[in-house]
Amino acid sequence: MDRKTFQLHLNVAVAAMRVKCERYITNTLPHENLYYIINVERIDRWTPLDEEKVLEHLWRDGRVPVWIDVTPYEEDGKHIYFELRCGGGFSETIFYHKEEGYPPFHCFGPIVPPGWTRESPKFNLHHYREWMRVGLDKGKGPNRRSPPLRESGDSRN
C-alpha cells in the first residue's frame, strides 16, 4: 500500500469514528487528533503521536499492519486521543476490513459503559479511560497499562 493511500485511509477511518462518537458520547470532540499505537514493537504505548509519527511507525516501505482497530480513548479539550490497536503482522497486500472501505482500519468503539444498551442515554467518553485505569483493579492502584490522567485543557504531548 502506498503511503498516500494509507494516510487517506487513516483520515477516513478517524472521520468515520468521530461521526460514530457523536451518536453515543456527551463530550464535545476537539478538532485535533493524537494517537496511541498498541501492539507494535519499539513503541511506548502511552506516548501520544501526531499523524506524521503514526505514518512513520506504521507505514514501512509499503508494508502496514494487516488490521488496525481505531478506538477513541479520551479528550482533553484540545485533542481527542485514539488508540490504534494493530495486529496480524505487516503486509503489502493482505488487509482486513476491506468491506469498510478504508483497510486495514476498523472503527471499533467507542467503548460503551458496562450495562449500556442502545436505549441508554449518551455517555462520557472518559468512562473508558477510567475503566482502564482503575475499574478492574478494585482499589489495588492504577492500572500500569494506562497513561497519565489528562485534565481538561491539558495538552501535554
CA dist 41 and 45 (Å) reads 9
Burial annotation 24-38 (CB, 10 A radius, 16+ → b, else e): bbebebeeebbbbbb
pLDDT tens digits, residue range 37-81? 988 776 667 789 999 999 999 999 999 999 999 999 889 999 999
| Domain regions of the chain by residue span | 3-135
Q: Residue 49 carries which DSSP code?
A: B
Question: What global pTM score does this model have?
Answer: 0.79
pLDDT tens digits, residue range 2-43? 999 999 999 999 999 999 999 999 999 999 999 999 887 766
pLDDT tens digits, residue range 99-132? 787 889 998 878 888 888 888 999 998 887 776 6
Burial annotation 133-152 (CB, 10 A radius, 16+ → b, else e): beeeeeeeeeeeebbeebee
